Copies of this chain bind each other. A is one copy, B any other.
């Protein structure tokens, strides 16, 4: 890994509150969030460079062939990937870079970047998760049932992460993640100063 910044993978089921945690982290720490690239069409309200970097299929494939992604995947005929260059620049500046990605993406990132720190954001209980998903009030019963099933699959893989942080009170959860980032920088295998 270049520089002193950490590559931080954050995953967790929809409704666990990843987005809120990441927004709060940005206020408190010296860190940046990686914006994913995708070949899918922008949805209403999505801005290029903010929600995603919107690329053509040709652009994406060209970047992929030039080793331009930390990880990438194809879902439903569209490519999604985490651009490598910006992340490496931030890390070289000493900033931690957060990738908010799926469980499958985490495994790929770890395989190529063993130094990365992976954090699974866990809901306090399945009841709370369901309440949060329903609270949005925008989904059909069918969508809720599918999301809960998917959440169960994802939670079953939480043990593969380095850390599991329960998102109960948001302040506690954010302080937990900040402690993880601070502690990881103190790991002996990352220590670079030589005083002898």
Contacts and interface: CB of A to CB of B under 8 A. Distances in A.
Interface of A: 120, 122-126, 152, 155-156, 158-166, 175-176, 178-180, 182-184, 186-189, 191, 193, 195-196
Contacts of A178: 179
Given A195-B125, A195-B126, A163 B188 contact: yes
Oligomer copy total: 2
A162 B187 contact: yes
B155 A195 contact: yes
Determine which residue in A152, A179, A193 has the highest number of CB atoms from chain B within 10 A of its CB, and name it.
Answer: A179
26 contacts: A120-B188, A122-B193, A122-B195, A123-B195, A126-B195, A152-B196, A155-B195, A155-B196, A156-B196, A158-B191, A159-B188, A159-B189, A161-B188, A163-B187, A163-B188, A164-B188, A165-B186, A166-B193, A175-B182, A176-B182, A179-B179, A179-B182, A180-B183, A180-B186, A182-B183, A183-B183
A125 B140 CA distance: 62
A99 B160 CA distance: 30
Contacts of A161: 188
A183 B163 CA distance: 8
A162 B179 contact: no
A163 B186 contact: yes
Contacts of A159: 188-189, 191
Determine which residue in A125, A155, A176, A180 has the highest number of CB atoms from chain B within 10 A of its CB, and name it.
Answer: A180
Contacts of A122: 193, 195
Contacts of A191: 158-159, 164
Contacts of A196: 126, 152, 155-156
